């Protein structure tokens, strides 16, 4: 078994309204100096050795992320 | 001829299947309940994918529902010209299923927006808009939190050039949708998706207008070739 991490983030050109809301909230807890926040998703998969990289990218691109609006990164840890 | 039969799909978390079936009946067709886990369209003449929060909007709105067994039947049916209408969560599902381009993102401003919304019919040549005239304005409810239509520049240009924007918001964009897009259609005009809810506007007792019924009478007109 291996652990795989898939990080999914809104594409840079997509307006991330959730990240903006988090960014604005930072000022309410007295934090200054944070220029930008972008919010994404983090998936942790337990996979057996038969799952190759091609399959992992299929999992990420066909289900975990929507390629129209999101980028993804697959990392074996 | 025998009554036109229009399937209405129910997923776990669907909310508006009852109103969609009511609109189908009011338009003069027979609603046929379709279940998400079935692989059978029961020979229907068209399909409505109604609104709600299928699978709790887990992962992304419409993402899990787009992989339901009934949706593989809808996708193959659409490839053969089956008319399909996706409303709200149904529109999100059709985009996730690849039947329509683009995606629906969280509303600008993050609020769930629920209000009566004016729309302009931009394309009166689709299977679901033929009872309207181009440029006609209608008022139907909009109610969603993830209704901001987004697509890449190339897709937007193609949609505009090919007249595939079916409905556009007028009198205020409720969610920051690109180019005020409320609804779009497939290349062949058989598949239409929109965020606002025509099925909630079929009589003035329960809705802001009767104009939403036009999408359903359009379908009958398309299928029977009869003037409405």
Q: Tell me how long chain B is.
A: 228
Model confidence at B226, pLDDT cuts 50, 70, 90, reads low
Nearest CA to B157 out of B128, B181, B130, B127 is that of: B181
Give Cα B81 to chain centroid, integer Å.
Answer: 16
ipTM: 0.87
| Chain B residues with beta carbon closer than 8 angstroms to that of A18 | 106, 110
Pairwise CA distance, residues B32 & B40, whole Å: 12
Nearest CA to B186 out of B69, B81, B88 is that of: B81
pLDDT in tens, B59-117: 999 999 999 999 999 999 999 999 999 999 999 999 999 999 999 999 998 899 999 99
| Chain B residues with beta carbon closer than 8 angstroms to that of A21 | 110
Q: Which residues of B are catalytic, by number? A: 88, 197, 199
Q: Which residue of B has its CA nearest to A69?
A: B103
Interchain CB contact of A64 with B (< 8 Å): yes
B103, B155, B178: best to mutate for the A interface, most A CBs within 10 A:
B103
Give Cα B153 to chain centroid, integer Å.
Answer: 23
Number of domains in chain A: 1
- How does the average pLDDT of chain A come out, rounded? 95
pLDDT in tens, B9-54: 999 999 999 999 999 999 999 999 999 999 999 999 999 999 999 9
Pairwise CA distance, residues B182 & B196, whole Å: 7
State the CATH number of the domain containing residue A63.
Answer: 3.30.1280.10
CATH class of B5-224: alpha beta
The domain in which residue A49 lies consists of: 2-76
| Chain A residues with beta carbon closer than 8 angstroms to that of B60 | 66
Task: Say yes or no for a CB contact (<8 Å) between B109 and A66.
Answer: no
Contacting residues for A13 by C-beta, under 8 A, at least 6 apart: none
Other residues' Cβ atoms within 10 Å of the Cβ of residue B19: 22
A68 → closest Cβ in B102, B107, B109: B102
């Amino acid at each position: 078994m291996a652990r795989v991490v898939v990080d999914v983030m809104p594409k840079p050109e997509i307006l991330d309204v959730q990240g903006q809301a988090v960014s604005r909230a930072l000022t309410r807890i007295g934090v200054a100096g944070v220029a930008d926040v972008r919010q994404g998703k983090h998936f942790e998969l337990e996979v057996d050795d038969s799952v190759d990289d091609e399959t992992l990218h299929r999992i990420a691109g066909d289900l975990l992320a929507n390629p129209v609006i999101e980028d993804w990164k697959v990392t074996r840890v | 001829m025998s009554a036109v039969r229009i399937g209405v799909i129910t997923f776990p978390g669907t909310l508006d299947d009852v109103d969609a079936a009511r609109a189908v009946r009011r338009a003069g067709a027979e609603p046929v309940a379709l279940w998400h886990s079935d692989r059978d369209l029961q020979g229907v003449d068209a399909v409505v994918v109604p609104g709600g929060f299928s699978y709790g909007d887990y992962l992304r709105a419409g993402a899990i529902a787009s992989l339901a067994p009934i949706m593989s039947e809808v996708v193959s049916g659409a490839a053969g010209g089956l008319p399909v209408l996706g409303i709200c969560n149904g529109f999100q599902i059709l985009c996730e299923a690849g039947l329509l381009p683009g995606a629906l993102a969280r509303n600008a401003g993050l609020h769930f927006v629920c209000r009566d919304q004016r729309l302009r019919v931009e394309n009166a040549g689709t299977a679901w808009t033929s009872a309207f005239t181009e440029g006609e304005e209608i008022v139907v409810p909009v109610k969603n939190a993830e209704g901001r239509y987004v697509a890449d520049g190339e897709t937007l240009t193609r949609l505009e050039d090919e007249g595939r924007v079916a409905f556009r918001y007028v009198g205020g964009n409720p969610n920051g949708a690109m180019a005020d897009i409320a609804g779009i259609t497939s290349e062949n005009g058989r598949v239409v998706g929109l965020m606002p809810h025509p099925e909630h506007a079929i009589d003035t007792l329960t809705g802001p207008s009767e104009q939403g019924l036009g999408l359903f009478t359009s379908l009958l007109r398309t299928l029977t070739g009869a003037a409405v």
